[in-house]
Structures are given as structure tokens and as C-alpha cells.
Chains A and B, each alone.
Chain A
Amino acid sequence: MATAEEVAKAAERRDVRDRWLLSAPALLVIFLAATGPLLIVLVYSFLTPGSYGDVKWQFSPEAWIAVFLERDIFDDTLSIAAAHVTIFLRSIKLSVVTTIATLVLGFPTAYFMATRSEKTRDLWLFLITIPFWTNLLIRTFAVLQIIRNEGIINTMLLKLGIISAPIQILYTDTAILIGMAYVYLPLMVLPIYASMEKLDFRLVEAGYDLYATRFQVLRRIIFPMVKPGVIAGSILVFIPALGAYVTPSVLGGGKNMMLSNLIELQFGQGRNWPLGSALSIAVMIIVMVALLAYVRNAGKSGVRHG
């Protein structure tokens, strides 16, 4: 006869097994059409490029060397691949600046939303959610129409006589920056708003009672309490910005490439799939580092302000 304990254990084991079966389809689809192929990219980054795209199954570290270095065709010496380094640095710089810009604009916006009355708060939330769920390509296209030479900004400045010739914004790094800040702003506002909404304003009041200035209250009370939201927002903006494809393709023109355009090039005209794979893995590594920093920070901030 089985004891009660054994019966309970068997039931628990059955429950865990059922739960695995129940989650199997989702895990399987994600493994087949998202996670698994990433491993293939890793393998491809160590192979030799085929003549017409794809790869030859022959081990080679060349692709990884080519991420940052260039091999001279005549004497085989290595020098720094200036073009790649420029694109890496530009992508990182643009993503960091985008993150900062959205933070500077998004933090006050989230604060404004969170300090409205409970009824109107929903309306503001709705207003920020709409751009968040509307097509990113359409929003980028909308920015394109505003900033191009015949766009509303240049037309107005010309009519007002402030400028005599249109300012070339489109197809510059500034255009990419404006576009990314525009499309990713809701991604910054929403998580900050989520932590701001739970903010206990009695603490703010206590701060003022103790003669803190507005800025001191902001810096020493509000900011530390919503820091998890700020970090989450920064990650949510930084990751897609680093891998941004649509915005640089539409607003950056052909010359101002970002990492994703460089990767695309290797799979298109470049016909160097291993290099494209190595570059993709490199992007992943940068993202992982950012995520790890986030996880460590999120873990810490909970303790520090407890």
C-alpha cells in the first residue's frame, strides 16, 4: 500500500509532467523559429563564405577577424577595419543618445501622467499607448515627411525667413536620432509611468517638511524610487535602438549605416554570410552585456532603498 506521502508525491510529479506537456507547443515553436536558429548563426560565423551566398562547410575564423580587422589582399597584414569600427561606434553612440534623449523627455512625461487625477490618468495612458502600438514603419515614415527638405519644418522656417535654404536633416545621423527618439519614446514612458504610479507621495511631502528643495526631492526621493522603471525603460529603448533596421534604412539613406544595415549587406550584395553571422552574434553580445547590467542593477536597487 502506498503511503499518503507517496500518493502526494506521485500527484505532484504528475502535475509537473502535465505542466511540461502543456507548455511544450509554445516552447517548441519558440525553439524552432526563434531560439534554435540563433545557434546556427553561431556555427555559421565560423564557416567559409560560399561563392554565391550561403557557406562552405569549412572551419574558418576569418569572419570573426573581419568584424574589426581588414586583411590586406597583397601581403596578408591585418589593419583595423575602419568602416566596421565606424558603424559599430555610430550604432552604439546613436543608441546611447537615443536612450538619453527619450529619458530626458520621457521622465517628465511619465511624472506628468502619474500626477493626474485617477480618471484622466487612463486617458493619458491611452494617448501614449496608441503610438506604441501603431506601426513603427508608419511612424518613421511620418517623421520622414516632417523633416525632409520639402517637409513642414523646412517650409515653415523658409516662409518665416529664418533660413534661406532648406536644412538638410534627412539622410543624416541627426535624422536617425530624431526618428529613433520619436519611435521609442513610448517604450521609455510606459515602464517609468508604471513605477511612478505606485509612488507614495507622502514621502515627497515628508521631504518638503524637512525643507528639501524641489530638485532635492526629485533627485533624492522620486528618482531613487522610480529607478527600476528608468532602468527598464532604458533597456527597452537601447536594445531595439542598437538593432534598429527600419529607422536607419528610411531616414539614414544608404550612407549612414547602422549595424543592422551592415548585417543585411552581408546577406545581400556582400555575399558573406559568415561575416553577417559574426556581426549578428556581436550585436547579441552587446545586448547581453546591457541586459546583465540591468539584472545586476535591478537586483541591487531593491535592497538599497528598502
Chain B
Amino acid sequence: MAKNFSIKHQPGFSAIAATCFIVLYLPIIVLVIYAFNAASSTSEWGGFSLKWFQSAWQNTQVVDATLRSFQIGSIAAVLSTIFATMAALATTRTASYPGLTFKYAAINQPLMVPEIVTGVALLIFFSRIKIFTGYSGIGYLVAAHTAFCIPFAYLPIRARLENMDLTLERAAADLYATPWKTFRRITLPLLWPGILAGLMLAFVISLDDVVITEFVKSGGQDTLPTYMLGQIRRGITPEINAISTAFLLLSVAIVTLFFFVSRKRD
């Protein structure tokens, strides 16, 4: 056998991995480069320019959709994180009790169903409610987003809780702290990184959603992704590249933050 026999080596695996990483990033890099293209077509390079960012910035539809995305995203992220935190507290650090398995299944249910099916279901359900109540505001989108963000927010919070033992909380109770005080002074500070991670995850998930939003939204309620989908279907201009680039930058920033928050061990 060869002298430097590496037990971890598998022929061709590194080459495939390298290809994968290049292929994953190449299209995104090309997309970003063409956002700075001065030419108005996306096939030829006409020099460096920021004009497409400017034109996106001045496009009221884009600004409108962006603000709506942020509005829905932040409300849905906060609500789903609060609900997920409560649910995580209720489903961890306990002996099995009646209904625990049901709760796991129910919380993770939105992950098991293809988005198109949920989208259709909500279209039917909300159109009934719209007729019944006459309300056709943004509330439907917020409700839908909150629901499908819960399982994502739940994941890191639950993971964090499972790594926390009950010793400190028991000690606090022994020292006559009320349950609320124990929660606020002991559990919450320890759980905070998990909650933060859940919040960011939920926000990104809400911001990225196309399918469910596309089915639930009423006229004039485009979010940034559904607006972009409409534009891409109609034909493309470098303006979409510019919007995508800004969007990417935001996502990468949040993911980076998430990565550090969730990796941090105390």
C-alpha cells in the first residue's frame, strides 16, 4: 500500500465538491455583475454603472413592495417567534405527556405539505372569510406567514432549550422566585441566542416566500418576491438584477448574523 495512504480519500469526491461550490456561486456572481451593467440588455456588457439601482430606487412599485415585505416579515417574525418560544417551553425538558407527539407533528406540519397545497388551501379559506367579513387587508398575509414561520422559529429555540438543564431554574424557585421572575431572570437570558436565531430565521423565511403569498395576496398587495416573479415572467431588465443584488446582500447579512448567533456556545 502507498506510504501516505489517507483513509479519508475517495477518488473524484473533491473534484465533484469543487464543481458543486463553483456551480452554486457562479450564477449568483454573474447576476450581481450584470446588476452594474450600463447597457440596458442583460446579454452585453456596457460598462460599470449604478443606474439600475437608481432606477429601482425610484420605482414606486419596488419601494412599495419592499416596504410591504418588511412589514409582513417583521410582524410575522415577531409573532411566530413569540408563539414558537412558548411552544418550545411547553414541549421540551419534560417527561412525555399526553399530546406531546401530537404537538410535534402539528408544529412541523407546515414543513410537510408542499407550499402550493397550502397556498391553494389558504386561497379558498381566506376568500370565504373575505366575503363574510369584507376585510381584505394585509392581515391574511400576516396570518399565513406567521403560521409557516412557526416551525422555523421553533427549531433553534427548541435546540437551545434542550441543551439547558433545569438546575438554575430549580435553584431560583428554591430561593422563592416566582415562576414569572424565574423565567424573566434565568430562562429568558439563557434562551436569548436561540430566540434571536429563531427570529432571524423566521424573518428570512417570510421575506423569501413566493408561492403562498402569490395565492393569498389581494390586488395591489405584491411583496418584493411576487413583484419580481411578475417582472421576470414579463421579460427581464437589469433592474431585476439590481433588486436581486440588494436582496441578496440583505439575506447574506442576516444569514451571517444567524450563523454566528446560533454557533455561539456559552
Q: Which residues of A contact B (CB under 8 A)?
A: 15-16, 18-20, 22-23, 25-27, 29-38, 40-41, 44, 54, 105-106, 108-109, 111-113, 115, 122, 126-131, 133-139, 141-146, 150-152, 155, 182, 185-186, 189, 201, 204-205, 208, 214, 218, 239-240, 242-243, 245-246, 249-250, 259-260, 263-264, 267, 273, 276-277, 280-281, 283-284, 287, 291
- Do the beta carbons of B122 and A239 come within 8 Å of each other? no
For A240, give the chain B residue with the smallest CB separation.
Answer: B114
Residue interface mask B5-48, A partner, CB < 8 A = 1: 10111111110110111011111101100100000011100000
For the complex, give the distance between the alpha carbons of A236 and B150 in Å: 18
Interchain CB contact under 8 A, A108 and B16 = yes
The majority secondary structure among interface residues of chain B is: helix
**Known pairs A141-B228, A208-B5; A30 contacts B147 (CB<8 A):** yes
Asked whether B90 is an interface residue with its Cβ less than 8 Å from the other chain, the reply is: yes
Question: Using Cβ atoms and an 8 Å threshold, which residues of chain A touch B169?
Answer: none
Contacts of A186 in B (CB 8 A): 24
Assess whether B264 is interfacial by the CB under 8 Å rule.
no
The listed residue (B43, B87, B103, B247) touching A135 by CB distance below 8 A is: B247
DSSP class of A's interface residues: helix, strand, loop or mixed? helix
- Max count, chain B CB within 10 A of own CB: residue among A26, A205, A214: A26
Asked whether A249 lies within 8 Å of B247 as measured between CB atoms, the reply is: no
Provide a sorted-by-A list of 17 A–B residue pairs whose CB atoms are within 8 angstroms.
A16-B97, A26-B154, A30-B106, A30-B150, A41-B124, A105-B19, A105-B20, A135-B247, A137-B229, A142-B31, A143-B27, A145-B27, A239-B114, A240-B115, A243-B117, A280-B117, A284-B113
Determine whether B232 belongs to the interface, using a CB cutoff of 8 Å to chain A: yes
Also in contact, A283 and B86, with CB within 8 A (given A35-B109, A40-B125, A112-B17): no
A260-B113 in contact (CB<8A): no
B255: which A residues are within 8 A, CB to CB? 129-130, 133-134
Give me the 3 closest cross-chain CB pairs, A-B, nearest first.
A243-B114, A112-B17, A150-B43
Selected contact of A201 from candidates B7, B13, B125, CB within 8 Å: B7
In the complex, which of the residues A25, A35, A37, A185 has the most CB atoms of chain B within 10 Å of its own CB atom? A37
Residues of B close to A26: CB separation below 8 A: 83-84, 86-87, 107, 150, 154
Q: Are B20 and A27 in contact (CB under 8 A)?
A: no
A264 to B148, CA, bound (A): 20
Contact assessment for B91 and A218 in the assembled complex, using a CB-CB cutoff below 8 Å:
no
B97 touches A141 (CB 8 A): no
Whole-angstrom CA separation of A36 from B256 in the bound complex:
35
In this complex, which of B31, B204, B263 has the most chain A Cβ atoms within 10 angstroms of its Cβ?
A: B31
Known: A137-B225, A246-B229. A146 touches B26 (CB 8 A): yes
Write out the residue numbers on chain B whose beta carbons fall within 8 Å of the beta carbon of A264: 116
**Interface residues, chain B, with chain A CB atoms under 8 Å away:** 5, 7-14, 16-17, 19-21, 23-28, 30-31, 34, 41-43, 79-80, 82-84, 86-87, 89-91, 94, 97-99, 103, 106-107, 109-110, 112-125, 127-128, 143-144, 146-148, 150, 154, 204, 207-208, 210-211, 214-215, 225, 228-229, 232-233, 236, 240-241, 244, 247-248, 251-252, 254-256, 258-259, 263
**Interchain CB contact under 8 A, A38 and B121:** yes
Q: Most chain-A Cβ atoms within 10 A of its Cβ — which of B11, B82, B124, B207?
A: B124
State A186–B110 Cα separation when bound (angstroms). Answer: 20
Expressed in whole angstroms, the minimum distance between the Cβ of A257 and any Cβ of chain B is: 12
Tell me the bound Cα distance from A77 to B209 in angstroms: 43
Tell me the bound Cα distance from A111 to B82 in angstroms: 37
Using A23-B90, A283-B116 as known contacts, say yes or no to A141 and B232 having CB atoms under 8 A apart. Answer: yes
Report B154 CB to chain A, min CB distance, Å.
Answer: 8
Contact B113 A130 (CB under 8 A): no
Question: B122: which A residues are within 8 A, CB to CB?
Answer: 33-34, 37
A145 to B: closest C-beta gap in Å: 6
- Chain B nearest CB from A141 CB (Å) reads 6
Given contacts A145-B27, A284-B117, contact A23 B43 (CB under 8 A): no
Residues of A within 8 A of B240 (CB): 141
- With A and B bound together, what is the CA distance between A246 and B87 in angstroms? 32
Give CA–CA (A152, B33) in the complex, Å.
12
Q: What chain B residues lie within 8 Å of A25 (beta carbons)? A: 82-83, 86-87
* Smallest CB gap from A239: residue in B: B114
A239 to B112, CA, bound (A): 8
- Chain A residue at minimum C-beta to C-beta distance from B146: A29
Chain B hits for A128, CB < 8 A: 21, 24
B109, A214: Cβ atoms closer than 8 Å:
no
| A20 proximity list for chain B (CB < 8 A) | 90, 99
Known: A30-B147, A37-B122, A135-B247. Is A155-B43 also a contact (CB below 8 A)?
A: yes
Partner of B210, one of A30, A214, A246: A246
A34–B110 Cα gap in the complex (Å)? 6
Shortest Cβ gap from B67 to chain A (Å): 17
With contacts A33-B144, A137-B225 taken as known, whether A204 is within 8 angstroms of B120 at the C-beta atoms is: no
Cβ–Cβ < 8 Å partners of A133 in chain B = 204, 208, 251, 254-255, 258
> Min CB distance, B135 to chain A, in Å?
15
Shortest beta-carbon distance from A189 to chain B in Å: 8
Chain B nearest CB: distance from A117 CB in Å? 11
In the docked arrangement, what's the CA distance between A31 and B150, Å? 12
| Chain B min CB distance to A25 (Å) | 5
